[in-house]
A and B are shown apart, each in its own frame.
Chain A
Amino acid sequence: GQNIDQPTEMTATEGAIVQINCTYQTSGFNGLFWYQQHAGEAPTFLSYNVLDGLEEKGRFSSFLSRSKGYSYLLLKELQMKDSASYLCAVKGNAGNMLTFGGGTRLMVKP
């Protein structure tokens, strides 16, 4: 079966760093995606990891450990506009099907 877990909500302060964790147990694995979704909008791509290690892209970094079934998204220098839901998704072995976690709603406070 497929199981992807991430915290439901997180709160952080503007300018700070926040780490959003994601653990997964899936029958197939061909990469892990992080998406950002603002309320009422479509998800937008943030990062992709298929090998173990850290991928850095500006203020956003994502880490993957395949042996532990674990990933995290790190957001630095938080801005108010980072208040959104962050979705962890695993791509299986067939096609482009993504299995999503429930999403983490991040609230950034001044």
Chain B
Amino acid sequence: KAGVTQTPRYLIKTRGQQVTLSCSPISGHRSVSWYQQTPGQGLQFLFEYFSETQRNKGNFPGRFSGRQFSNSRSEMNVSTLELGDSALYLCASSLEFRDRGSNEQFFGPGTRLTVL
């Protein structure tokens, strides 16, 4: 079974631009979460989508947005990029078990975004 895939793997943008990152979850997984990882802040939750609906949202400004399609693929968008947005953006997918709380998240390789 293929793992979580993310595209592109590396991206360089300049301040003020906008960027769209893509995530394809493991087949059958309907929950997709996005995280930002930086050396200073560690892994921080951005948002989670389930069945095309945003289910949770972290403490990030409105410049960060996302969506999920009917095939569970997800995209996140960052508008008006700032230098501080340089980070590794990780996507994770999981199954939904009604009777179990684990719902282990499987992470993709990430997209390394550099803002100049």
Interface flag for B24 (CB, 8 Å): no
Q: Which A residues fall within an 8 A CB radius of B?
A: 30-31, 33, 35, 41-45, 48, 50, 87, 89, 91, 94-103
Which residues of chain A are within 8 angstroms of B104 by Cβ–Cβ distance? 33, 45, 48
Residue of B nearest to A103 (CB): B42
Interface flag for B64 (CB, 8 Å): no
A to B contact number (C-beta, < 8 Å)? 66
Q: Is the CB of B45 within 8 A of A94?
A: no
Within 8 A of A (CB), among B43-57: 43-45, 48, 50, 55-56
Q: Is the CB of B48 within 8 A of A97?
A: yes
Residue of B nearest to A49 (CB): B102
Q: Is the CB of A95 within 8 A of B56?
A: yes
